[in-house]
Amino acid sequence: MDHATITLVVLGIVAFLFVTEIIPVAVTSIMGALVLGITGVLTPQEAFSGLSNSTVVLFAGMFVVGTAMLESGLATTFGSMVVKRVGTKEVPLMVSFMLLTMIMSAFASNTGTIACLMPMVLGVCASAKIPATAILMSMAVAANAGGMMTMVGTPPNMFAVSALRDHGLEPFGFFEFAYVGFPVSIISLFFMVFIGRKLLPRHESDLGVIANSLTGSGSNYQRIMALLILIFVIYGLIFGIPGVSQAMVAMIGAVLCVLTRTITEKQAYRGIDWVTIFLFAGMLPIAGALEKTGAGKLIATAVIDLMGSHPSDTVMMAVLFLVSCGLTQFMSNTGTAALLIPIGISISEELHVSPYAVIMAVSIATSCAFATPVATPPNVMVMNPAGLHFIDFIKVGLPLCLIGFVVSVLIIPLVWPFNPS
């Protein structure tokens, strides 16, 4: 059995175990990486590379900063302020946080956005005495949808601009992605308010795993220090600090939380959500194996071959969207875009049509990472604190992927015609 086939078999088994949860999801994820290492698909270093990945390090750092906000009482203070203005109803709070998340993730890292806002949301839910499940899930949706609206909102959009430029074509404008991204974002908001939240479990006695485990009874000094550290971290994640990566910003914040005695070392360790850490750390090598072995390309090529030698323009775009959307649920969205955008350009050239529609479709599809918790960092970050299961992401995510597909098929050919006059 070749390495690509082994990778596809492992991915299929992992997906089955994720859905059934016969084995804890974090254990399944790590086992998948281990099997790929034992079978020689990945080197030992590659099999454990997820544990040193910068995104995993960012997760750990932000969990500590979030713990400081919760333990010091700062998150509850923010929560009380929001509750006074918005009220204690779930829907107004959901709409408020979704809009804020969409705006922030359109211009900043969606991972950083969720990392900054999640402790505040837990504080709000604790103050309003409502479950955090639906609001956290809606924020993950908003982070992914909001990133579709600008060139810098998500890496696939930047890759699309680069691919056009490399082919000597005029690249997309900064806000040009919003032709599709904005409608998807607004429809996603309405979907979560009227349908999505009703598909999720209601943990009436559970205000979030993290919020339940913390006391939030810190001193004024601890709240002030937590606020100053939070301001530093938000600035670093959103605006950037020269020579300092996002992961370094998060870890500096985490170290400062302990050094300033805002929280104790034990509280810092206890606040890290290890399920999230190992779930994501295990899936990163599996996603890497899809790219390394060519398994992802095999899937893409097999599906595209089904179109025949002379597919219609719209069918070609629709198929590439569906392939991109499917792959991005388990592969890096950047990796999926890097794999399929060149294929889309080649097909466009072969059919003698403009590549803009195809490239836009792939870019939007790779951001429709709604249907699995491992599709994108915001999903995996909210999974455990919100008390969500893999099946919950499928229930909510598949309709959202369908929304993205329908909006794209209707709008993209109108804005970027295949045969512009």
The answer as to whether 12 is a domain residue is no
| Dihedral (CA of 248, 253, 254, 258) sign | positive
CA dihedral 245→277→65→249, nearest 10 degrees, is: -10
Q: How confident is the model at residue 315 (pLDDT cuts 50, 70, 90)?
A: confident
Residues 377 and 256 in one domain: no
Token pair, residue 337, equals 């875009």
Asked which of 216, 240, 274 is the last residue of a domain, the reply is: 274
Question: Residue 215: is its pLDDT beyond 70?
Answer: no
The answer as to whether 4 is a domain residue is no
Question: Residue 216: is its pLDDT beyond 70?
Answer: no
Residues 204 and 303 in one domain: no
Give pLDDT tens digits for 157-173: 888 888 888 888 899 99
Nearest Cα residue to 197 out of 261, 132, 279: 132
The answer as to whether 322 is a domain residue is yes
d(CA 88, CA 91) in angstroms, rounded, equals 9
Count of CB atoms within 10 A of residue 83's CB? Answer: 20
Stronger pLDDT, 114 or 207, i.e. the higher one: 114
Task: Write down the pLDDT at residue 283.
Answer: 81
Q: Cα angle vertex 322, ends 362, 277, to 5°?
A: 80
Residues 302 and 374 in one domain: yes
Task: Write down the pLDDT at residue 209.
Answer: 44
Q: Which amino acid is at 358?
A: V
Task: Write down the pLDDT at residue 167.
Answer: 81
The answer as to whether 14 is a domain residue is no
Region at 240 (left for phi over 0; alpha for psi -120 to 50; beta for the rest): left
Least confident of 6-10, 120-124, 216-220: 216-220
Nearest Cα residue to 330 out of 10, 15, 71: 15
| Largest pairwise CA distance in the chain | 69
Asked which of 245, 274, 303 is the last residue of a domain, the reply is: 274
* C-alpha pair distances (Å), 144 with each of 136, 249, 333: 13, 22, 11
Burial 371-410 (b: 16+ CB within 10 A, else e): bbbbbbbbbbbbbbbbbbbbebbbebbebbbebbbebbee
d(CA 12, CA 288) in angstroms, rounded, equals 15
* Alpha helices (H) in 108-245, listed in sequence order: 110-128, 133-146, 155-166, 178-194, 209-213, 220-238
Task: Write down the pLDDT at residue 39.
Answer: 94
Which residues sit opposite 241 in a β-bridge?
A: 244
Give pLDDT tens digits for 344-355: 887 787 778 889
Give pLDDT tens digits for 375-395: 888 998 899 888 899 999 999
Find all residues with CB under 8 Å of 338, minimum gap 6, and list them: 159
Per the structure, the count of domains in the chain is 2
Residues 221 and 146 in one domain: yes
The answer as to whether 186 is a domain residue is yes
Q: How confident is the model at residue 217 (pLDDT cuts 50, 70, 90)?
A: low
Residues 136 and 213 in one domain: yes
The answer as to whether 263 is a domain residue is yes
Question: Residue 149: is its pLDDT beyond 90?
Answer: yes
Asked which of 224, 243, 274 is the last residue of a domain, the reply is: 274
The single-letter DSSP state of residue 52 is G
| Domain, as residue range, for 324 | 294-415
Question: Residue 284: is its pLDDT beyond 90?
Answer: no
Residues 252 and 376 in one domain: no
Count of CB atoms within 10 A of residue 205's CB? Answer: 7
The answer as to whether 285 is a domain residue is no
Q: Exposed, middle or buried by CB within 10 Å (0-12, 13-18, 19+), for 9?
A: middle
Residues 365 and 324 in one domain: yes
Task: Write down the pLDDT at residue 286.
Answer: 85
Q: How confident is the model at residue 367 (pLDDT cuts 50, 70, 90)?
A: very high
Q: Which amino acid is at 193?
A: V
Question: Residue 99: is its pLDDT beyond 80?
Answer: yes
The answer as to whether 235 is a domain residue is yes
Residues 298 and 270 in one domain: no
Residues 339 and 382 in one domain: yes
Residues 259 and 367 in one domain: no
Question: Residue 208: is its pLDDT beyond 50?
Answer: no
The single-letter DSSP state of residue 51 is G
Residues 264 and 335 in one domain: no
Nearest Cα residue to 326 out of 29, 55, 109, 15: 15
Task: Write down the pLDDT at residue 211.
Answer: 44
d(CA 47, CA 68) in angstroms, rounded, equals 32
Give pLDDT tens digits for 37-82: 999 999 999 999 888 888 788 878 888 887 888 788 887 777 677 7
Give pLDDT tens digits for 242-283: 999 888 998 999 999 999 999 999 999 988 878 878 887 888
The single-letter DSSP state of residue 152 is T
Q: What is the mean pLDDT of the chain?
A: 86
Which residues sit opposite 164 in a β-bridge?
A: none
DSSP states along 134-146: HHHHHHHHHHHHH
Task: Write down the pLDDT at residue 193.
Answer: 96
Task: Write down the pLDDT at residue 251.
Answer: 94
Token pair, residue 129, equals 């005495």
User: What is the percent of the chain with per-residue pLDDT over 90, rounded to a whole number?
Assistant: 38
Question: Residue 373: is its pLDDT beyond 50?
Answer: yes
Residues 229 and 375 in one domain: no
